[in-house]
Amino acid sequence: MMVKPTNQFEEANDSSYDRKAELTAFDESKAGVRGLIESGVTKIPRMFCRDTLNIIEHPVNSSNLSIPVIDLKNIHNNINHAMRTEVIGQLKNACKNWGFFQVINHEIPINVLDEMINGIRRFHEQDVEVRKQFYNRGLDEKIIYYSNIGLYIEKSAIWRDSFGCTMAPNPPKPEELPEVVRYYI
């Protein structure tokens, strides 16, 4: 079954809508969100839309907002265990309360970071048949390419595709990696 490109959006009260069938067709296509775009879809499929949007308004004092910054300077110093404990606490707090953070003094050269981003872009720009070889839902896999890990659980799908590699404790062999990212990974 294939997700069909459409120029119409089904109404929310359409009783003929089969969400499970749409999710299954999308997942079985192994093409992800990029595959929808490549297929010529012109409207966002209903599986990506929420029936209602719940926005909780909180008064926010923007002067108190700042992205958490995690400083790894001297983190590998075996003498300073208190620093490691503090950094771990900062990481936990940033993940729990923000969902993201900035890491500084990680000692990864900027050209390596830039090439990692370019490699991920090259991965997603490959022909759909090449990307499909890596598509899976198993988070225990060494190499994962998927769209929406909670596809069948969440109320609406997220308009994104993800690619990642598990590097510890047993990294994939170089020949297992997609060629377009192999060198820098």
Q: What is the pLDDT along the chain (185 residues), one digit of tens a residue?
A: 445 544 444 445 578 899 999 999 999 999 999 999 999 999 999 999 987 666 666 666 666 778 999 999 888 776 778 888 899 999 999 999 988 899 999 999 999 899 989 999 999 999 999 999 999 987 788 899 999 888 999 989 999 999 988 888 899 999 999 999 888 78
In a domain, 148, yes or no: no
What range defines the domain where residue 78 resides? Answer: 62-104
How far is C-alpha 64 from the chain's CA centre? Answer: 28
| pLDDT in the model for residue 6 | 46
In a domain, 47, yes or no: no
Token pair of 146, please? 């998927």
pTM for the structure as a whole: 0.72
Distances in whole angstroms, Cα of residue 86 to Cα of each of 10, 68, 151: 51, 13, 35
In a domain, 77, yes or no: yes
In a domain, 153, yes or no: no
In a domain, 75, yes or no: yes
In a domain, 70, yes or no: yes
Q: How many domains does the chain divide into?
A: 1
Element (H, E) at 69: strand 69-71
In a domain, 76, yes or no: yes
Three-point CA angle 148, 149, 154, nearest 5°: 75
In a domain, 80, yes or no: yes
